Amino acid sequence: MNILETLTIEFKLKPWQVENTVKLIDDGNTIPFIARYRKEATGSLDDQLLRDLDERLKYLRSLEEQKEKITASITEQEKMTDEIAKAIDSAKTLTELEDIYRPYRPKRKTRASIAKEKGLEPLALKIYEQDRNVNPFELAKEFLTDEVENVENAIQGAKDIIAEMISDDANGRKQLRYVCRTHGNIVVLGAKDDLGVYENYKEYSEPVSKIANHRVLAINRGEKEGFLKVSLEIDKSHGVSVLEGLHIKNGGECSNLVSEAAEDAYTRLVFPSIERELRNELTDRASEDSIKVFAKNTAELLMQPPVRGRVTIGLDPGYRTGCKVAVVDETGKVLDTSVIYCAPPHNKIEEAKKIIKNLVKKYDVKMFAIGNGTASHETEVFAAEVIKELDCGITYMVVSEAGASVYSASKLAAEEFPQFDVSLRSAVSIARRLQDPLAELVKIDPKAIGVGQYQHDMPKKELSNALDGVVEDCVNSVGVDLNTASPSLLVRVAGISSAIAKNITAYREENGSFKSRTELKKVAKLGPKAFEQCAGFLRIVDGKNVLDNTAVHPESYPATKELLKICGVSDEDLRNGNISLIKEKVEVEGTSALAKELQIGEPTLVDIISEISKPGRDPREELPQPLLRTDVMGMEDLKAGMELKGTVRNVIDFGAFVDIGVHQDGLVHISQITNRFIKHPSDILKVGDIVTVWVLSVDVDKKRISLTMKKPKEEN
């Protein structure tokens, strides 16, 4: 297989794009670096496509390695033929390879192997020839021994051997897979009287070809928890006829025995194997889709706009142990902490108000961040009352606590806040999540953030790889302040290992703030390759070189300075983002001619101009700001037809969950998102979107809210 050619065809790219990308990957370059700083080489391929190509490259290389191993094994057995070699070479998947190798793979003891040990293989092969003139029962008499006592035993042994031969036939398996995929049904039955959330699957059946991914994951979980029994069903006669069509030749007594062996092969060997394969295939497909949804949602969550420049009080609600309070300044530094009892069973409301009001006045607090866990509603009501009484422009937002407890109890949190107990660390984290979601959430295993569907059922390695890639892309697209970033944030920067991240912070502590990117070269273990990969993603605010606060890579500094010189732009102009002279030059000459003059690629020039137009630019700030509130509502306040603003919290296969400020997210079913057909809710919505919704129905007892994004028709 020509891997480069295969990738070119599959990804619909030009050969040079694939060749250059593979070389860059093989040379040890990170995906963020390739996507951002090697656009000329790749034709400006984005990071997601690069990751997909990298993953496919690894699969195809693994396939080639497996081909070599199988070829060597069959050759060693002296069973290699031109036909087998051709089949191996043309195999496109690992499953196809396994089918080819199946007859030659060392087997555990089977009925067929036992029959072979008794010397019955020649009898089986003779019967399989299906000569109409051969009487298999007379022939079997020649094979009677101490171990094969009678004709019936001989014939049964021969059929066992033939059944395994039929089972090992790659063509038969391929055809049966097709039949099962196109005509098979997934059948689900209840395994208990009380099925709970799986009641809808008590007696359920759906074609393999049509079953939705989220239903595959639901029934898998129900089966794993012992509530459901799941099977694949097809018409047995149809399946057996596929094998008979391939192996029955002339009719007669030998053919009858082969037919019996084919039925046995189907029932005992082939169908159970294919059932497992197809169930796994459906699960893999559903898992892959779920991981993509989870990854996309996580990316949107991480890229939520920061709410900068406001002193914030983080409130971690609780009943018996009280609500933990942390005041953090504009940069996230902890100023003060406390504990209040604003909810049952204590209900020390007035005392709690006094504490919060004093903190607000002392530190000029502008915002409350309230965790959405236990006692959140009571805490929100309390906060809304305080805001109303103070009447000084304070707003609040309920923040997801997902993963906060994991972080608070982690070694990282203990190192960051050794003086605080676990619950106070949570309050700090909640406040910082509102101020800068990305910087805070990177401290948590992305699986714990919880913005997907069935993520806890996903293959751990695949999910971790996908989410690590998402976090890496988000961090590098935003950039990291070299002088304030924590090790947990630095380690997400391209080219920076855990050891290097610790060495960077150690260098800062010993030598003070970095004055330039080139100073990074003094950090222990940060060699030329690591510097090349990470430098462009690290920012130095108010450093010696204004370019150090942009995404312009140091390798492009000479070209950038030449551009400034040609256009007559000073460093002071650059610091102020005043590059009108450059824009005029581009309008006159065009980017192509100017890039040629500077001896750089056109995409690089475009990126340079974009970056120097606004040093320190944060792409998140261009997104809609979070929805901050000043008052509170409960589910009992909702009425059908009510119009509300809300924030999309999760996007899944069958719809989206929207936070409308009542402590219970409402579901907008996919059919209620828009009047036009969409394949997936993510075609329209993403996590963090601010949307207008209308209430369809409310079930307070079951805590279910049904919403629509389709504006109701005006009544006459």
Taking only the tens place, the pLDDT of each residue in 620-655 is 887 778 888 878 778 888 899 999 988 898 999 999
Residue 189 half-sphere exposure, CB side, CA atoms within 13 Å? 5
pLDDT of residue 450: 66
Q: What is the mean pLDDT of residues 152-158?
A: 96
Packing angle, helices 94-101 and 170-183, rounded to 10: 130
Question: pLDDT band at 405, cuts 50/70/90?
Answer: confident
pLDDT of residue 716: 42
Cα of 71 vs its chain's centroid, Å? 35
Whether 243 contacts 266, CB under 8 Å = yes
pLDDT value at 531 more than 70: yes
pLDDT value at 370 more than 80: yes
Please say whether the dihedral angle defined by the alpha carbons of residues 298, 299, 305 and 306, taken in this order, is positive or negative. Answer: positive
Q: Which residues contact 388 (CB under 8 A, 6 or more apart)?
A: 630, 631
Q: What stretches of 434-495 adopt beta strand conformation (E)?
A: 480-481
Q: How far apart are CA 646 and CA 663, in angstroms?
A: 12
Amino acid occupying residue 27: D
Q: Which residues contact 76 (CB under 8 A, 6 or more apart)?
A: none
Q: Which residues contact 61 (CB under 8 A, 6 or more apart)?
A: 3
CA quadruple 506, 508, 512, 513: dihedral, nearest 10: 180
Q: Which residues contact 259 (CB under 8 A, 6 or more apart)?
A: 244, 248
Kindly list the distances between the CA atom of residue 638 and the CA atoms of 591, 659, 695, 710, in Å, as whole numbers in the listed order: 56, 13, 7, 18
Find the angle CA(338)-CA(341)-CA(346) to the nearest 5 degrees: 150
pLDDT value at 43 more than 70: yes
Q: Report CA Rg, the chain.
A: 33
Kindly list the distances between the CA atom of residue 555 and the CA atoms of 35, 442, 569, in Å, as whole numbers in the listed order: 15, 28, 20
Find the angle CA(679)-CA(624)-CA(651) to the nearest 5 degrees: 30
pLDDT value at 7 more than 90: yes
Whether 321 contacts 337, CB under 8 Å = no
pLDDT of residue 525: 95
Kindly list the distances between the CA atom of residue 521 and the CA atoms of 33, 88, 484, 499, in Å, as whole numbers in the listed order: 18, 50, 18, 15
Picking from 9, 47, 43, 8, the residue whose alpha carbon sits closest to that of residue 29 is 47
Q: What is the mean pLDDT of residues 650-673?
A: 91
Question: pLDDT band at 401, cuts 50/70/90?
Answer: confident
Amino acid occupying residue 215: R
Q: What is the mean pLDDT of residues 51-58?
A: 96
Helices (H), 391-458: 404-408, 411-416, 422-435, 437-441
> Which residues are 639's β-sheet partners?
none
pLDDT value at 238 more than 80: yes
Q: How far from each other are the two terminal CA atoms of the chain, in whole angstroms? A: 68
Question: pLDDT band at 714, cuts 50/70/90?
Answer: low
Is the pTM of the predicted complex or chain greater than 0.85? no
Q: Is 618 helix (H, G, I), strand (E, B) or coil?
A: coil
User: Any idea which residue has 């029994």 for tokens?
Assistant: 229
> Which residues are 315's β-sheet partners?
325, 370
Mean predicted lDDT score pLDDT of the chain: 92
Picking from 55, 59, 49, the residue whose alpha carbon sits closest to that of residue 1 is 59
Percent of the chain with pLDDT over 90: 72
pLDDT value at 556 more than 70: yes
Amino acid occupying residue 669: H
Q: Is 695 helix (H, G, I), strand (E, B) or coil?
A: strand
Q: What is the mean pLDDT of residues 538-554?
A: 93
Helices (H), 102-192: 111-117, 121-129, 136-140, 151-167, 170-183
Q: What is the mean pLDDT of residues 201-208?
A: 94
Q: What is the mean pLDDT of residues 247-274?
A: 95
